[in-house]
């Protein structure tokens, strides 16, 4: 199931599924690859996962805006560290508010690693009263 295809009245019935958030970037990858490479790769991985497990997960659209300040001199669209952390926290808060209790951040860009882990640390404290909530992080 893809979240963008769900109607809001149907969201409560999806709360037992794993909500997968694919994370990409828009940055240079050498002279031979497009700046959307990380987002395209994680998008293809997300498509495959959704196809194989559509009844068990809710797949969010690829979040193409990543943390790539190290590539600014080459060309990228990037969020700074703290706004990126807050974006991740905001997405997770929104998913929790619609009933999600299992969230997987599926990363496809190395620069997102540290801010995602920082966001997870903050979310753990914020949601300590919800022991049934699991927010995990994985990178291919």
Q: For residue 73, is pLDDT > 90?
A: no
Distance between CA 138 and CA 72 in Å, rounded? 25
Q: Which pLDDT belongs to residue 140?
A: 79
User: Which residues share a beta bridge with 79?
Assistant: none
For residues 99-103, average pLDDT? 97
DSSP state of 33: S
Q: Which pLDDT belongs to residue 71?
A: 83
75: confidence class by pLDDT, cuts 50, 70, 90: confident
Q: How far is CA 137 from CA 34, 113, 114, 123, in A?
A: 26, 9, 11, 12
Indicate the pairing of strand 102-107 with strand 134-139: parallel
Q: For residue 11, is pLDDT > 90?
A: yes
Q: How many CB atoms lie within 10 A of CB 114?
A: 13
DSSP state of 105: E
Q: 76: part of which helix (H) or strand (E)? A: strand 76-77
In contact, 130 and 46? CB cutoff 8 Å:
no
**Ramachandran assignment for 99, one of left (phi > 0), alpha (psi -120 to 50 degrees), beta (any other):** left
Choose the most confident range, by mean pLDDT, from 13-22, 24-33, 68-77: 13-22
For residues 76-99, average pLDDT? 97
pLDDT in tens, 112-136: 999 999 999 999 999 999 999 999 9
Burial of 18 (0-12, 13-18, 19+ CB in 10 A): middle
């Amino acid at each position: 199931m893809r979240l963008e295809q769900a109607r809001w009245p149907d969201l409560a019935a999806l709360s037992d599924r794993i909500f997968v958030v694919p994370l990409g970037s828009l940055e240079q990858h050498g002279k031979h690859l497009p700046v959307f490479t990380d987002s395209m790769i994680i998008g293809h991985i997300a498509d495959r996962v959704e196809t194989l497990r559509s009844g068990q997960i809710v797949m969010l659209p690829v979040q193409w805006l990543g943390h790539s300040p190290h590539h600014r001199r080459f060309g990228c669209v990037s969020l700074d560290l703290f706004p990126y952390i807050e974006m991740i926290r905001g997405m997770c808060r929104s998913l929790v508010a619609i009933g999600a209790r299992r969230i997987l951040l599926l990363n496809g860009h190395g620069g997102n690693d540290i801010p995602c882990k920082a966001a997870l640390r903050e979310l753990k404290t914020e949601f300590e009263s919800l022991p049934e909530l699991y927010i995990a992080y994985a990178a291919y």
